[in-house]
A and B are shown apart, each in its own frame.
Chain A
Amino acid sequence: MRLRIRYARLGKVRFTSHRDVARIWERALRRTELPVAYSAGFSPRPKLAFGLALPTGAESVAEYLDVELAGAGPVPDELPDRLSAALPAGLDVLAVAPLEAGADSLQHAVTSCTWTVEVLDLDADRAESLVAAALAAGTLVVTRQRKGKAVTDDLRPALLALGVNGPTPAGVELHAELSTQPRGVRTSELLAALDPGLQEGLVRRTHQWIQRDDGRVEPLPLERLPGTVGAHTSRVAERVS
């Protein structure tokens, strides 16, 4: 049986890397003594599948992880709390649900992400005009380094939505939906395309989306808020959603 877990990464732990978080999860699952399935072979590893990497330094209330269990059975109600207790402060489990057999891996299924991005030292009016210009533009060309070579890319097709949320103490907050296929566009690339002088502040992933014919859905929606999540995170999640 596979479980899909949705969790948040907020506060100081945002400075851990994707690899760090994977190791933290392995330890947490062993601590909760969940019967995780292990790979066969010379060095058995727990069967975990993480979704799209979150950049070091970014927060999120929409991180996912699929865990394969050795057996089947109902998901205990208190599992999110038990997992949160085994994780460091700032990593909190928001929801857990069994995954239907044959479900696509997170890496393949997810088509876009929504982000909030703080831009430092920028006022809301200027932000509005940058956003309007970007939405009106036919192309948004950026140059990036790839294997030591400069490559140019048009980000416009990947920019699915963009708007201004409002001012923050240090600047202004934008929200953006960026497609993840064929490659995940980073929020820093978006800012560079808006204006190369912009400085990124706090970034938070608020949603990952799976595009279907009948509309888009989340890999694991938070409909069961707030009952099944830790008190701390449910507040944050409510604020975001």
Chain B
Amino acid sequence: MTSLWPRLEPLLPHVQKPARYIGCEDGAVTPEHGPGKVAWLLVYPDTYEIGLPNQGLQILYEILNERPDAVAERSYAPWTDLEAKLRERGIPLFSVDTHRAAGEFDVLAFNLSAELVYTNLLNCIDLAGVPVRAADRAPEHPIVVAGGHCTFNPEPVADFIDAAVIGDGEEVVSEITERVREWKAGGRTPGSRQRLLRDLASVPGVYVPSMYEPVYDGERLVAIEPRFPDVPERVEKRTIADLGDWPYPKRQLVPLTEVVHDRLNVEVFRGCTRGCRFCQAGMITRPVRERPADQVRTMVLDGLRRTGYDEVSLTSLSSADFSGIEGVVADVVDQPAGCGNVSISLPSLRVDAFTVGIASQIQRARRTGLTFAPEAGTWRMRQIINKLIREEDLYGAVESAYSQGWRRVKLYFMTGLPSETDQDTLGIAELARNVVAIGRRHNKHASATVSVGGFVPKPHTPFQWFGQNTAAELHRKVGLLRDELRRERGVQLKWHDPKASLAEGIASRGDRRVGAAIEHVWRHGGTFQEWSEHFDLGLWEEAMAANGLSIDWYVHRHRTEDEVLPWDHISAGLHKDFLWQDWQDALHELGVEDCRWTPCYDCGVCTGYSIEHVVASPVPPAGGSQGTGQDLATGGERPAHLLGTRAVPVTIGARPA
């Protein structure tokens, strides 16, 4: 192997933040490559600062490096300044661990956690010296695999990847390794690449796009058909049954330079069943699987000692829902190492005094800001999205926050939600004003930051049929809020660029034909589209038009019940009729409870995969299943047809055998 470091080093004094490219993190490995070992390059197609903390990538890095027949290194998208120099000198994409050329690896595995990185995926494949279209690849080229939440609709990138992993990667990376090892041992003869891909297509959780043929009738997609009888019609997601079996990362990487989430991260559970209807992450990661509390404690305390961090984040989609969270938090706060100055952060979807209570316990020292996500401005709207927070819940929560010394709260909202009226939008301003008024009773400098994002419907959610608001409509709604809040001095309004929401909409629910537009954007210099200084909606519009694709049809059109969706052959375990019913219930303003603590309504995941929730507490936290005081009667009746006949028991206390 040849390290590219000697060629890279002279370039680094002339680029921004050169420490992005040196590796050397605590926890990094210096792997020994060999002919009997499958070499994986795990690539995060955005900058090092964004990509390094990615837990999924770090977990696979460790699992693969523990295998005697695999090695794994990491790579991140070089920033534009370095990319220009690399291209000028013909230096390819490289790993940060040993600075080995990407093309020397057997597998290039990309983490796709946001749609706007798709053009960077193409750019990284190209920088690796690999043809961007899978069809053009030859025996000497690595296998290009993608994983992460975006692969639940892999179609927009189907032409560029050889395979996609759907769902949890912990187990399936080993199964892929075994297949690739055989391929490598066989000498990668001509034709063998095709056989390998066909073989991979039968690994559960692996989708090989080239084994499927989309069938269209004019604009409409009518089917995505397997091209061979041994290729499954539907690819089911992978789910690890018990997070306790996977105490990873064991040696979290500690970077030398500043990154986002620069702290110890310990995943306390995976999955979420609160049932927020806009939330793809919640829908595709069911059921809830808690890590045993003792394992959480060990991972936190060992991790702090090993890394020297003084901050730990207990991660999940809503960590205040973790059974016994108060006990875990108390143990960490009181632990002796780190001079007692350890701070904890945890994301929470709950909007209630309970959350504030935990927050005051963990932010004893730094009371910077507290974030709540009511997501919508009126109760009617929150019933539609199934985020069942009443105004009094929010006011109670901010009351206790301001009264305990916080001066600033952050509130997250979405606009452009199904059936939203201007009154619903303006409800955001109303809530914000009232929140600040409550704050002023405790502190005359009390303030609130309101962040508003344009809603982008996502595959595998009840809102997947909804036609997204146009950018102009989102602009108009943001304008309403700006006018309304202009004279409100305590409220600072921030909003996400509606143009970026439009591009995200194209990539989120696109089919395979959208791939050509993504390639067009990339070929015309459209990389780093997640970065406002590089984002260019004009490029996307031009790319869609150049390929005869209608933005209106892909983004703003409501889908019908009988329509074949581009991701229908990919399964998150959710019954399509469950999602449709939930969509109808949404439009009727009916809420559903969290199935973690109430009877199952058979969304399909546990029943279909014979798995179940792993939740230590038999009862919901104080305040009810939504973490608020409401009972669903105030929000409409629980629809009887959602009460599953095949109820799934919740695992209480004991671990599943």
Contact = CB atoms under 8 A, between A and B. Distances in A.
Contacts of B367: 42
Interface string B1-26: 00001000000110001110111111
Interface in B496-534: none
Given A31-B306, A38-B341, A15 B366 contact: no
Interface string B331-353: 00000011101000000000000
B257 A57 contact: no
Interface string A44-68: 1000000000001100000000000
Q: Which 10 A-B pairs have the closest CB atoms?
A: A27-B308, A15-B18, A31-B308, A30-B308, A12-B22, A57-B13, A16-B19, A20-B257, A15-B19, A43-B366
B178 interface: no
A16 B308 CA distance: 18
Interface extent on B, as a size class? 20 to 34
Interface of B: 5, 12-13, 17-19, 21-26, 254, 256-258, 305-310, 337-339, 341, 365-367
A86 interface: yes
Contacts of A23: 258
Given A13-B24, A43-B365, A88-B256, 10 more contacts: A13-B22, A15-B19, A17-B257, A30-B308, A33-B337, A36-B339, A42-B367, A44-B365, A56-B19, A88-B25
8 contacts: A15-B12, A20-B19, A20-B256, A27-B308, A27-B309, A30-B310, A57-B12, A200-B13
Interface of A: 12-13, 15-17, 19-20, 23-24, 26-31, 33, 35-36, 38, 42-44, 56-57, 86, 88-90, 200
Contacts of A13: 22, 24, 256
B24 A38 contact: no
A12 B23 contact: yes
Contacts of B309: 27, 30
B338 A30 contact: yes
A30 to B, nearest CB: 4
Nearest to B16: A56
Contacts of B19: 15-17, 20, 56
A156 to B, nearest CB: 26
A42 B366 contact: yes
Contact of B307 (A17, A29, A31): A31
A27 B307 contact: yes
A23 B262 CA distance: 11
A26 B308 contact: yes
A30 B310 CA distance: 8
A86 B305 CA distance: 11
A26 B341 CA distance: 12
B18 A57 contact: yes
Nearest to A12: B22
A38 B339 contact: yes
Contacts of B306: 31
A17 B337 CA distance: 28
Nearest to A188: B13
A27 B342 CA distance: 12
A42 B365 contact: yes
Nearest to A30: B308
Nearest to B339: A38
Contacts of A16: 19, 22, 256-257
Contacts of A200: 13
Nearest to B5: A12
Nearest to A37: B339
Nearest to A57: B13
Contact of A31 (B256, B305, B341, B366): B305
